[in-house]
Every structure is written in structure tokens, then in C-alpha cells.
Amino acid sequence: MVPPAPQSGAEFGDLERFRGYLKLLARMQLYAMPESRVDLSGVVQQTLWEACRALESCTVGPAELPAWLRTILGRNIRDELRKAGAACRDVRREQSIEELLGQSWARLESWLASEAASPSAAMIRQEQLLRLAGALDELPDDQRTAVELHHLAGLRVTEVAQRMGRSPAAVGQLLVRALRRLRAALSTLED
């Protein structure tokens, strides 16, 4: 069952702008389950398709759109894990998918580290998060993985190096190059 949709598709523009954000959250979830064999692009595409389809039953405002999409994404990841046989049929594990997606979003917000005191500030922050997710999606795979594991998943450089099969020095260089690219990409978006 698809959760109730936002108030109107016209208010949110094209849901496509959330693709990078959804891919980032899906990757963060799947990093926590390295044994899973889930098609990331397929899950994101399914989520966007379901969101577009549900836009007729409108009950959520623009500020709630990311949480609404996270709910759909979490359910789709859980369904794919079941199909792939990678997840136990344990209710605690199923609930943890939504919790982990929420934690990933919170880490992403804390990385930007600004307080959203007003509704307009919250919308600006949401747009910044979407831009950051899009910029991360544009990085080369190894740089993106290093940034996501270190800065968003909270792993130490040595743990990232072990996961990626590289030396800590190599991961450090990936992080430096990635952060340089992210700064350039995000400053270009603000101009």
C-alpha cells in the first residue's frame, strides 16, 4: 500500500529532482547490509513511479515530502530484500529499514549543519540537501563511496579502507578529491 501522497504534483515540481536523494538513502541502507543483492536503480525507479502514481490522493505538505518518499523507499527496499532472500522475516529487522533511512537523513542534515528555525528555512535546507545528494551522485563511484561511508555512515577511515579494499592513505586521497569536487559543484549551484 502506498502512503498518502503530497498535496499536488504541481507544488513539488518534478519528483525526478529527488532521484539523487533517494539513491543516496538507498545506498546508505545497503551499506548497512553488504550481503544484500538489491537493484538500487530499480528500487529508486519503483519509488518514484509509486510516488507519481499516488499524487492524486493528496494529504502531505511540501515539508513532509522527503519523509513520505523515505517511507515508500523503505518499503520497496524491504520488499526487494524479501524477494532476494537477503532479509530475515524478523519484524525487528523490517522496522530497522525505516529507522536506518531516518538516521541516514539525519546524518545528511547534520553534515550541512544549519538550524532550520522557520518553514522557509526548512525548505531552503531541504533544497540544499537535494543538491548535496545530487552532487554526491555525480562523483566517481570510489569517491562517492568513500564520502558516504566516512561522513554519512560514520565509519573511520581505516574501516572505509578495509571495506573498499584500499589503504587508509588511498581513502584519504579519495576523500580530499571528493570534498574538493563537492565544494566546486555546490558553489556552482549557488551562483
Sequence-distant (≥ 6) Cβ neighbours of residue 111 within 8 angstroms:
132, 151, 152
For residues 81 and 61, membership in a common domain is answered with: yes
Q: Which of 138, 155, 181 is the last residue of a domain?
A: 138
| Same-domain status, 181 and 106 | no
Give the pLDDT confidence of 18-75 residue by residue, as tens digits.
898 899 888 888 777 666 677 888 999 999 989 888 877 767 677 788 888 988 998 9
Q: How far is 154 from 48, CA to CA, in rounded Å?
A: 28
- Are 169 and 86 members of one domain? no
Distance CA 137, CA 78 (A): 22
76 & 167 share domain: no
Segments forming the whole domain that contains residue 81: 5-138
φ/ψ bin of 77: left (φ > 0), alpha (ψ from -120 to 50), beta (otherwise): alpha
Total domain count for the chain?
2
HSE at residue 100, side-chain half, CA atoms within 13 A, is 23
d(CA 123, CA 126): 5
102, with CB counted inside 10 A (0-12, 13-18, 19+), is: middle
61 shares its domain with 121: yes
Grid-cell match 520488499, residue found: 79
Contacts 24+ apart (CB under 8 A), 118-125: 119/63, 122/63, 123/62, 123/63
Give the domain CATH number at 161: 1.10.10.10
| Domain boundary residue, one of 138, 157, 173 | 138
Q: Do 130 and 156 belong together in one domain?
A: no
Residues 186 and 145 in one domain: yes
Residues 133 and 157 in one domain: no
Tens-place pLDDT, residues 94-149: 445 556 556 655 665 555 555 555 667 767 777 888 888 889 999 999 999 999 89
